[in-house]
Amino acid sequence: MSKIHLKMKVNGKQVETLADSRELLIHVLREELGITGPHIGCETSHCGACTVDMDGKSVKSCTVFAAQANGADVTTIEGLGTPDELHVLQTMFKEHHGLQCGFCTPGMITRAYRLLQENPDPTEEEVRFGMSGNLCRCTGYQNIVKAILAAAAEMNAAKEAAQ
């Protein structure tokens, strides 16, 4: 079978690569493009560790063919912040101990990013419901929820200050 010529925007950069039609987006990101932030946890559409943002949607990249993402705008944890310039969500996860082993964290933060874009001032219940596609074996979720609420408050304060 012929390879597909993929063109996508990944973390703001235009990328091109060849992929088999049966290759999943997570594999192309990690193995072809060297973007290893999104993790493979369950590989069965349940854990959310592979979550990336695709055209404004949080998706499990283990359940999307790379071919489906052809032409899409993809953002991974690498596109949200850098070690020198953390995203507010990353800062708050650090501050509130929203991670232990860190395996679920890239997916958590990428999902939380979209949640706060859609609902900038969520209640605790809305955070829990909005994050219910992401599993964590370590933290018990409490501090993840705290970190996201703190990030929301921080982002809203910054927005107000800018006005």
Partner 1 sequence: MIPGSFEYHRPDSVSAAVKLLAEHGDEARVMAGGHSLVPLMKMRMTDIDHLIDLQAIGDLKGISVDGGKIRIGALTTQHELINDKGLAKAAPIIHEASLQIADPQVRYMGTIGGNVANGDPGNDMPGLMQCLDATYEVEGPSGKREIKARDFYEAAYFTALGEDEILTAVEFDAPKGGYAYEKMKRKIGDYATAAAAVLIEMDGGKCTSASIAMTNLSDTPIYSEAAGQALVGSSLGDDAVSAAVKAMDEAINPAEDNRGPVDFKRHVAGVMLRRAIARAAERA
Binding site for ligand FAD (CB under 6 A): 45-46
Which residues lie below 8 Å from residue 161, measured CB to CB, with a gap of 6+? Answer: none
Interface pattern 99-118 for ligand FES (x via CB under 6 A): xxxxxx--------------
Beta 4-10 vs 13-19: how paired, if at all? antiparallel
Distance from chain centroid for Cα 116: 12
Please select the residue that binds partner 1; options are 82, 117, 123, 132, rule is CB under 8 A.
132
Please select the residue that binds ligand FES; options are 18, 42, 153, 158, rule is CB under 6 A.
42
When asked if residue 146 is in the footprint of ligand FES (CB under 6 A), the reply is no
**Would you say 4 and 67 are in contact if contact means Cβ atoms under 8 Å apart?**
yes
Instruction: Name the residue with tokens 């949200």.
Output: 80
Interface pattern 96-125 for partner 1 (x via CB under 8 A): ---------------x---x----------
The H or E element that residue 160 is part of is: helix 142-162
Closest CA to 66 of 40, 31, 37: 31
When asked if residue 68 is in the footprint of partner 1 (CB under 8 A), the reply is yes
Q: Which stretch binds ligand FES (CB under 6 A): 2-10, 29-37, 88-96, 98-106?
A: 98-106
Q: To the nearest whole angstrom, how small is the minimum distance from the Cβ of residue 158 to ligand FES?
A: 27
Beta 57-60 vs 13-19: how paired, if at all? unpaired
- At residue 21, φ and ψ (nearest 5 deg) are -60, -30
Binding site for ligand FES (CB under 6 A): 40-43, 45-50, 60, 62, 99-104, 136-139
Q: Which residues bind partner 1 (CB under 8 A)?
A: 1-2, 4, 20-24, 43-46, 48, 51, 57-60, 62-65, 67-68, 70, 111, 115, 129-133
